[in-house]
Amino acid sequence: MRIVVVTESFLPTLNGVTTSVCRVVECLAAEGHRASVVAPRPAPSEHAGMPVHTVPTVPVRAFPTGLPSGAVRDVLEEVAPDVVHVASPFVLGARALREAERLGIPSVAVYQTDMPSYLAQHAPGPVGSGAAQAAWRWVRRVHGLADLTLAPSRHTMAELAAHGVPRTARWGRGVDADLFRPDRRDAVAPHRRELAPDGEVLVGYVGRLAPEKELHRLVEVARVPGVRLVVVGDGPDRARTAALLAEAVADGPGRANRPPVLLGARSGESLAEAYGLLDVFVHTGTRETFGQTLQEAHASGLPVVAPARGGPLDLVDDGRTGLLVDPDRPGALAGAVATLVADPALRDRMGRAGRVAVEGRTWAGVTAELVRHYETAVAGRRARSGRRAA
């Protein structure tokens, strides 16, 4: 198939959307499909041997946001794809879906970023509520242009249905179980000893350091006796998060834990080694449509503690591969972490179960499923065109 992938985020920006797009393009290329990417600047000129077309950007909260220029239509007319794949459409993706509709090209939109919830969180009260409602109207309008919208979790599918988004299906994400694996712990054993010289349990978070990730929840984790907190990632909240966690440890009751460690942004082998440093993985956000880092933690042989809300409900088998907690109950996250800190055998058992759970979720497999969704969108477009012609 010929596919044009239009994405709101791409290299060198690192996040879940970028990771998903890169892996999909790589797997499409490996299977002989021809993919072209349309992405915000700056971006490499190609990825996995496939061309990347860039559009001008403006910074929004230090994030390069692609402008919906006529370049999108130019690429679609030049490539004449069988299907347009739009990743997390909001601005650039909205233009792509409109152009695909005008040109009669089948389209698949991947819903990945819960923008309405983020807006409500950043502007609490009536302003935030109004912004969220406006965002849902925009989401409904944009995704209504797509022949098929793919959601990564059951929770997200239900939310889209509740807000009137039509023609949805579930499509998860793959994980590189060769890159993220339990034996990384052996390779980084000396660094683990440096971080935990008194046998501390290394509890870590991996992800963007931004308000929507609700990193304030790590305060109670940092105070669990015998824990040393390790934070991997970067973002606009890095300085505030560092100060908040350092203060939490210094002001904690009893003997203070060692200061939290912030390792900054990592990718590839360096990221896999960072997971290898950990004994327990903690996720904090309650607005995740999926939660790719949870899969990476499972592949790395780690038990996962996460809020029982959103994407983690599909990824964590409570009591078997990790622990799900009520995010509205103060101390719940710390209590779950304390349970795992006190029981090495439980950590090991859950870590091994998590690894088994994700071993079959390869990017090649989920991309093959994606191609079937492409075919469904093409067939749906033909059926609707036939009904209109009749």
CA distances from residue 233 to 15, 88, 261, 270, 333 in whole angstroms, order as listed: 10, 21, 11, 12, 20
Six token digits for residue 32: 């002989």
Alpha helices by DSSP H, listed for the chain, are: 16-30, 71-79, 92-103, 115-122, 126-143, 154-162, 184-187, 189-195, 218-222, 238-250, 268-276, 292-299, 312-315, 332-341, 344-358, 363-389
Domain limits, the chain: 2-174+362-383, 184-358
Alpha helices by DSSP H, listed for 251-291, are: 268-276
Q: Do domains 2-174+362-383 and 184-358 have the same CATH topology?
A: yes
Reported as a single tens digit per residue, the pLDDT across 296-307 is 999 999 999 999
Asked if 333 and 305 count as a contact pair (C-beta separation under 8 A), the reply is: yes
Whole-angstrom distance, CA of residue 250 vs CA of residue 257 = 8
Output the pLDDT for position 269. 96
**DSSP designation for 286:** S
Reported as a single tens digit per residue, the pLDDT across 134-152 is 989 999 999 999 999 999 9
Whole-angstrom distance, CA of residue 231 vs CA of residue 347 = 19
Among the four given CATH numbers 2.40.170.20, 1.10.3720.10, 3.40.50.2000, 3.40.1190.20, the one describing domain 184-358 = 3.40.50.2000
Asked if 203 and 280 count as a contact pair (C-beta separation under 8 A), the reply is: yes
Whole-angstrom distance, CA of residue 277 vs CA of residue 236 = 24
**pLDDT-flagged residues of the chain (< 50):** none
Whole-angstrom distance, CA of residue 376 vs CA of residue 36 = 20
Of 113, 294, 338, 279, the C-alpha closest to 206 is 294
Strand partners, 205: 231
Whole-angstrom distance, CA of residue 307 vs CA of residue 165 = 26
Whole-angstrom distance, CA of residue 345 vs CA of residue 343 = 5
Query: Under DSSP, is residue 316 helix (H, G, I), strand (E, B) or coil?
Result: coil
Please count the other Cβ atoms lying within 10 Å of the Cβ belonging to residue 258. Answer: 14
Q: Which CATH class is domain 2-174+362-383?
A: alpha beta
